[in-house]
Structure 1
């Protein structure tokens, strides 16, 4: 279910992580890629450190903010990944940050996710640190990277974005505004055998309606990725079922648009993903989405 953009490749992630580690004296022998996507994550096992590699010199401002967000979350006793160094390292076109590694970390279950989101949504909003939620952030960039999309598909997705953006501006939310994770799914909350928890991928942390953080689990349930009991327990644990709110139709459509865009960026060389992309576009057009949507 992880949504990755296909931006950083394995070899460049390893090379950038090793060069950055050498600059700051972090042991970098035997690096292992944890994942590559829009960003690369490389394990440096001898140091017990994860190196996160982001492409683009403009990324340094976002990475610095992510490090500041992690420090602020720690001050609020929110379970989140902790940086090993307070500042990023620039290596050519890459920005590398270093984070603590949970060797036995695994994806959380839905109950743990609901509990942790309640905690996160309950902290006071910091002044000047977090951006506001932007539901269509980087839409154009992601659309351009969708090599598997035809001209008609691109026009369809742009029109859909424009219509949903207008609807978003008129939408009201029952739960007010809080600190959000921004991409709240089980793989972005790690748990360990001794009960430690840590939100990861903190670059999406922002301020907005908490319904945004609840929508992915509800939509994944509609996709058939969770059972009715699992989702009902999630909603009961959090204390709110986002599907019952007036904002749900818009939230649902925006998230499906984003999920389709994500897939488009990685479907160009993968036949299975291209088939799923074609299916997602077809069901968006005929209104049957997300029937038949699969996760990757």
Structure 2
């Protein structure tokens, strides 16, 4: 991110927004600084979530609309602050305000993720438009703004998108359409004092095949050399995504996302650039056994993705584990 969206600028924006809300920013804590700057104000029981761009009003508006619907149907999700007119706008920035949920033990697990995903997918499709699952569009947008990407690597990624795009379109058209969280990992879970599990972070929420939300853990097990997480998720959810007829497309789409996530940092982080090359070359060699390192374990100024639950969760807790 450029200096326009630095931690200092985001903190200043948070303080101004807090003033608009008639609350003091004293004691505010920065929970996350990725695509959003997420600040907890525990004294006032709120979280302010600021999009680190001047361009994504539609995304913030979508999240707010989802938040209202979730409250109406008592979904297993965090809640918007109803007393605030949202989204909030300040000097071209857009933000949403949520109820602060303190962490309660025990920490969320993959078993919890499977259980809450089953409930989430059963909510049905909202009565308002949502974008369709579009991993190819996401990758192409990153390629369009890429710095530090060699021509051969760019060409390979473009060809990958061209090859995968019609397969994704077929899956979107013929698969079961349901609500897809889009970034389902343990770090996006919170446990209330009542022991109810809540999901947070709906930037990537869309309509598509429900299997998308199970693919991340399965691919993570394979690529990061983990064991048991996919098995636990399968048992809790009641379905093994790796046995699904769509698995090859889902795996391909997930791996494309995990590689494209690094593109914005190639020019500024040598460690990310090295891991990007490792990932891309393993795909070029068609080597499904090659091991990857999580970007969040590298020296990264701003992690490109919470690909396995790294980073602070929106509601105020921290992830159950750091791998």
Shared fold per TM-score greater than 0.5 = yes
User: What SS does structure 1 have at the residue aligned with 2:49?
Assistant: strand
Residue 50 (1) aligns with residue 47 (2) = yes
Tell whether the 8 Å contact from 1:66 to 1:202 is kept in structure 2 after alignment. Answer: yes
> Among 34, 38, 44, which residue is 2:31 paired with?
34
TM-score (norm 2): 0.82
1:57 Cα deviation after fit: 4.1
Compute the RMSD of aligned alpha carbons.
2.6
Please name the residue that 1:87 is paired with: 86
User: What SS does structure 1 have at the residue aligned with 2:190?
Assistant: strand
Tell whether the 8 Å contact from 2:59 to 2:203 is kept in structure 1 after alignment. Answer: yes
Please name the residue that 1:69 is paired with: 66
Please name the residue that 1:97 is paired with: 96
1:289 Cα deviation after fit: 4.1
Task: Return the alpha-carbon distance in structure 2 between the equivalents of residues 225 and 108 of structure 1.
Answer: 21
User: What SS does structure 2 have at the residue aligned with 1:178?
Assistant: strand
Task: Rate the CA distance shift 1:67–1:37 in 2: closer, same or farther, 3 A.
Answer: same
Please name the residue that 1:165 is paired with: 165
Tell whether the 8 Å contact from 1:79 to 1:199 is kept in structure 2 after alignment. Answer: yes
TM-score (norm 1): 0.89
Task: Return the alpha-carbon distance in structure 1 between the equivalents of residues 51 and 5 of structure 2.
Answer: 7
1:254 Cα deviation after fit: 0.9
Please name the residue that 2:200 is paired with: 200
User: What SS does structure 1 have at the residue aligned with 2:89?
Assistant: strand
1:44 Cα deviation after fit: 2.3
Count of residue pairs the alignment pairs up: 292
Task: Return the alpha-carbon distance in structure 2 between the equivalents of residues 5 and 136 of structure 1.
Answer: 25
Task: Return the alpha-carbon distance in structure 2 between the equivalents of residues 80 and 74 of structure 1.
Answer: 8
Task: Rate the CA distance shift 1:176–1:233 in 2: closer, same or farther, 3 A.
Answer: same
Tell whether the 8 Å contact from 1:66 to 1:203 is kept in structure 2 after alignment. Answer: yes
User: What SS does structure 2 have at the residue aligned with 1:98?
Assistant: strand
1:144 Cα deviation after fit: 3.8
User: What SS does structure 2 have at the residue aligned with 1:115?
Assistant: helix
1:264 Cα deviation after fit: 2.4
Structure 2 residues not aligned, in runs of 5+: 297-323
Task: Rate the CA distance shift 1:30–1:255 in 2: closer, same or farther, 3 A.
Answer: same
1:54 Cα deviation after fit: 0.9
Tell whether the 8 Å contact from 2:181 to 2:202 is kept in structure 1 after alignment. Answer: yes
Stretch moving more, 45-54 or 250-259: 45-54
Q: What do the CA deviations read for 1:112-140 (whole angstroms, capped 9, x no partner)? A: 00000110111232222423222223333
User: What SS does structure 1 have at the residue aligned with 2:137?
Assistant: coil
Residue 59 (1) aligns with residue 53 (2) = no
Residue 245 (1) aligns with residue 244 (2) = yes
Tell whether the 8 Å contact from 1:223 to 1:292 is kept in structure 2 after alignment. Answer: yes
Tell whether the 8 Å contact from 2:14 to 2:48 is kept in structure 1 after alignment. Answer: yes
